[in-house]
Amino acid sequence: MNNDIDKVPLLDAGNGLRSLKDHAYGQIKEAILSGSLAAGSLTSVPMLSGALGVSRSPVREALADLVTEGLVSFERNRGVRILTLDQDDVEEIFDLRILLEVPATHRMVQFMGKRKIELVKKLQEEFAAMEDSIDDEPTFMAHDRMFHKIILDHSGNHRLSAFVLELRDQVRSLGLSTVGQSRALTDVLVEHRLILTAVEAGDADAAKAEMESHIRHTRDLLVDQTIRLKVEVEVAAVRGSIVDRQ
């Protein structure tokens, strides 16, 4: 268990007293997404309980939710595994995002109606925040996530928003990112600018097309990155085996 999960107060400024289960869930999930709990690593309920300063029951409940989200799994007699993704997983996740998020974007723009000014303003604010944090990837990506969440939240299907955001979190939990690997934050910003421009114009078809282009581009880059990483690991393993035999 990585000690980067620190004990924190059970008070949240926005929500008052939080439940022990919510506290455990939030802290464990953040540790996974930040990489403090590395993909592929093993931990346990007792270790997490001790690190968080809560009893085992709320930790088990929190982990059950994270199992549902595809971030961890229970392994008999071993503990809790932080899940990893392979090429097929990445493709499946982004194919689902294309199937769900692309038509959701079309619906949001098509049915904005009198809420257009309000929704456009929210998206503009998140885009501006992305511009302001162009040199701060974690902050940039937080606003990127919110940009997409605004569209999903106003697509007419509340369950859709939560599901798609869970898919995004599964990718983030691996530390997978195209930034610094195959494109810069400025490139990501340009793609969001195109989506925002279409929304501002009230052009549902254009917004749908730009969202699909953005998601497909991200998928293709991450799939290539996953393949390269797998090859690098396999090559390193072969070299290590050769050295051991010498």
Distance CA 88, CA 85 (A): 8
Secondary structure of residue 125 in the 3-state scheme: helix
Q: What pTM was computed for the model?
A: 0.66
Structure tokens at 108: 């949001």
- One digit per residue, the tens of pLDDT, for the chain of length 246 reads 444 554 333 333 334 335 889 989 989 988 887 778 877 788 999 999 999 998 999 999 999 999 987 788 898 888 998 877 677 888 898 999 999 999 999 999 999 999 999 999 999 999 999 999 998 888 998 999 999 999 999 999 888 999 999 888 877 765 555 444 446 889 999 999 999 999 999 999 999 999 999 999 998 888 877 776 555 545 554 565 565 566
| Ramachandran angles phi, psi of 82, nearest 5° | -80, 115
Angle, CA 157 vertex, CA 173 and CA 70 arms, to 5°: 25
| 148 neighbors 168 (Cβ within 8 angstroms) | yes
